[in-house]
């Protein structure tokens, strides 16, 4: 009688750096297969991540797929075979936690080259030691790689990666791409010799038909303000090679999260490549960048913690995108600060990430905030409003159909469980000496398995019905809370701070539309759409100046809105 072969998964990985002899995917596959054949293991599935670092399990698609298959018991494997522990991972914490998960599901790790089997007594101890060593090795490789790149930069050579826009790589060296370089020269010329900034240059390029040539590392055809600032700051365009302008630093309090941090001091040397603009022009651009950085410093940082009441809720009348709160500082003629001016502006007015909007107006926050608040106060002060709100709070949601459906599922489940119990009793009472024993048992087993399928299906339907009922009740509770806030809006709103007022507006209003131009009555507000059904008849609302304001009320799904 043939014994059942042990089923295994195999995992292979190569990093983005050089594939050392014996570490390539083909070499790993060959060694692992030979080991499996020698031990009569059946390889049921193979996983491999090419060009992935071992510093973390994040981003390793095949590795995570393998773990999901292990957790689901997909193939009933007993081992995962890897060439060396360093191919499995170089982060000690990740290796040990992942191994623990595998063992929780009855799967162990075998490192072919290292001779480690985690199912053996000494295996896990060896894995603990070697994974720590692998992590140290990874850090050493990183340091050595960095030293090599620094030396390459000192020699004025390009350090790899995509060539900057305006250049092309020829045999690893930067050469000017005249088709792209024309835009670079225009960008520096307009920035240095005019008063316009990066936003103005983006608009200038668009208006003059100068678009970014699409390449493999960018598909956006527009020069947005962010890209223009990156170009202006890059010393490569004046013939320099910089190294260390941005450094990857670990995010404090995390294990594997990193972010780029701008550095004040970095290596800057003459490059071997030809410059597109002169060093004098580049220096002039840096002086203007520094001056503008002080002029347009982030005013919403530091002590300014103002909450913009309607930010994102107000929609641009041109492109429909959200308008976001911002601040500028007005100055007197002598240059001294006059006051802070808070306003709503379309988020696409600066051509952010290539999205362009022509709406340039700045809507004064105080004016629009007061108008919206006034409309809501006028709405809740209507004589019929309180009674209508109370009626909606007292309204019962009809869940009778779902209640009946849940009851039917429960009844059906009781019947299925009863049948299951009887089948199990019949199986237990079978006589092993009966000449039809195996046929009868197979028949009963088949019926029992089919009953398990029916029970599982019925339980799933019952859970789904209960979830629907719970969602309806939760929605009703949320609506009731909003109606209660509306009933006491005037008193509550006065006592709230800015953060609380913002939360109320987010809960009450889905969107606010404004007029493209300020109206003769001084108002910008055009319409308000509430998140929940509020009234079911037309109501006339007026502001303090007795001017009519349209207020769109969302009645219910599938119902037209009513103008107020």
Residue range 289-320, pLDDT digits in tens = 877 665 444 444 444 467 888 988 899 998 88
Angle between the 225-233 and 279-295 helix axes, to the nearest 10 degrees? 130
Residue 219's pLDDT is what? 62
519-547: pLDDT as tens digits: 888 888 888 887 665 544 444 444 444 44
Question: Highest mean pLDDT range out of 53-57, 239-243, 441-445?
Answer: 441-445
Q: How far apart are CA 43 and CA 175, in angstroms?
A: 50
In sequence order, the 6+-apart residues with CB closer than 8 A to the CB of 438 are none
Is pLDDT at 8 greater than 70 in this prediction? yes
**Residue 54: pLDDT band by 50, 70, 90 thresholds?**
low
According to CATH, the topology of domain 167-296 is Hect, E3 ligase catalytic domain fold (3.90.1750)
Q: Is 544 helix (H, G, I), strand (E, B) or coil?
A: coil
Task: Give mean pLDDT, residues 132-136.
Answer: 58
DSSP letter for each residue of 282-323: HHHHHHHHHHHHHHT--TTSTT-----TTTTTEE-TTT--BE
Cβ neighbours of 317 (radius 10 Å): 18
CA distances from 281 to 178, 185, 212, 278, 369 (A): 19, 10, 22, 5, 46
Domains 6-150 and 167-296 share a fold: no
Mean of pLDDT values over 487-516: 80
Give strand pairing partners of 8: 43, 79
Q: Spell out the residues 6+ positions from residue 27 whose beta carbon is closer than 8 angstroms to its own.
A: 21, 83
Secondary-structure class of domain 6-150 per CATH: alpha beta
Residues contacting 443, CB < 8 A, separation 6+: none
Angstrom distance (rounded) from CA 265 to CA 247: 11
Query: What secondary structure letter does DSSP report for 237?
Result: G
Q: pLDDT, tens digit, for every residue of 401-417? A: 888 888 888 888 889 88
CA separation for the pair 90, 96 (Å, rounded): 11
Report residue 317 as tokens: 């009348």
Q: How far apart are CA 5 and CA 49, in angstroms?
A: 27
CA distance 443 to 450: 11
DSSP letter (8 states) at residue 162: S
Q: Which of 61-70, 182-191, 454-463, 496-505 is modeled with the greatest confidence?
A: 182-191
Range of weakest confidence among 177-186, 239-248, 258-267, 423-432 = 258-267
Domain residues of the chain, as ranges? 6-150, 167-296, 314-394+500-555, 399-495
pLDDT digits (tens, 9 = 90+) for 453-484: 888 888 878 877 777 776 666 555 555 666 66
């Amino acid at each position: 009688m043939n014994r059942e072969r042990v089923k295994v998964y195999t995992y292979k990985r190569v990093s983005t750096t050089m594939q050392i002899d014996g570490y390539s995917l083909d070499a790993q596959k060959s060694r692992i297969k030979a080991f499996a054949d020698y031990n009569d293991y059946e390889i049921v599935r193979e996983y491999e991540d090419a060009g992935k670092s071992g510093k973390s399990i994040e981003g390793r698609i095949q590795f995570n797929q393998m773990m999901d298959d292990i957790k689901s018991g997909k193939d009933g494997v007993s081992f995962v075979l890897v060439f060396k522990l360093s191919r499995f991972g170089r982060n000690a914490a990740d290796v040990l936690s992942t191994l623990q998960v595998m063992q929780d599901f009855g799967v162990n790790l075998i490192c072919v080259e290292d001779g480690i089997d985690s199912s053996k007594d000494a295996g896990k101890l060896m894995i603990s030691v070697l994974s720590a060593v692998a992590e140290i090795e990874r850090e050493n490789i990183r340091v050595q790689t960095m030293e090599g790149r620094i030396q390459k930069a000192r020699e004025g050579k390009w350090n790899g990666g995509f060539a900057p826009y305006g250049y092309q790589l020829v045999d690893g060296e930067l050469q000017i791409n005249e088709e792209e370089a024309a835009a670079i020269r225009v960008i520096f010329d307009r920035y240095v010799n005019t008063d316009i900034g990066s936003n103005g240059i983006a608009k200038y390029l668009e208006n003059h038909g100068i678009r970014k040539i699409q390449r493999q590392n960018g598909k956006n055809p527009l020069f947005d303000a962010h890209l223009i600032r990156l170009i202006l700051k890059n010393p490569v365009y004046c013939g320099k090679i910089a190294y260390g302008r941005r450094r990857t630093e670990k995010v404090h309090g995390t294990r594997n999260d990193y972010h780029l941090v701008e550095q004040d001091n970095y290596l800057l040397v003459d490059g071997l490549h030809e410059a597109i603009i002169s060093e004098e022009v580049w220096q002039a651009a840096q002086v203007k960048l520094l001056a503008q950085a002080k002029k347009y410093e982030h005013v919403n940082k530091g002590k300014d913690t103002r909450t913009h009441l309607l930010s994102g809720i107000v929609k641009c009348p041109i492109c429909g995108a959200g308008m976001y709160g911002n601040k500028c500082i007005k100055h007197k003629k002598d240059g001294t600060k006059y006051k802070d001016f808070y306003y709503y502006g379309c988020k696409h007015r600066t051509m952010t990430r290539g999205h362009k909007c022509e709406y340039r107006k700045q809507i004064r926050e105080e004016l629009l905030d007061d108008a919206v608040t006034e409309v809501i106060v006028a709405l809740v002060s209507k004589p019929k409003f309180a009674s209508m709100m109370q009626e909606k709070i007292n309204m019962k949601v009809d869940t009778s159909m779902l209640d009946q459906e849940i009851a039917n599922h429960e009844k059906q489940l009781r019947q299925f469980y009863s049948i299951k119990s009887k089948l199990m009793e019949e199986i237990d009472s079978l006589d092993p000496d009966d000449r039809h024993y195996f046929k009868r048992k197979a028949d009963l087993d088949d019926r029992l398995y089919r009953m398990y399928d029916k029970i599982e299906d019925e339980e799933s339907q019952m859970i789904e019905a209960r979830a629907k009922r719970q969602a309806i009740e939760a929605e009703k509770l949320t609506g009731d809370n909003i109606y209660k806030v509306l009933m006491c809006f005037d008193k509550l709103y006065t006592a709230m701070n800015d953060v609380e007022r913002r939360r109320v507006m987010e809960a009450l209003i889905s969107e606010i539309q404004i007029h493209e131009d300020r109206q003769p009555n001084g108002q910008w507000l055009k319409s308000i759409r509430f998140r929940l059904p509020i009234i079911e008849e037309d109501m006339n609302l007026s502001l303090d100046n007795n001017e009519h304001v349209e207020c769109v009320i969302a009645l219910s799904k599938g119902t037209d809105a009513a103008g107020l």
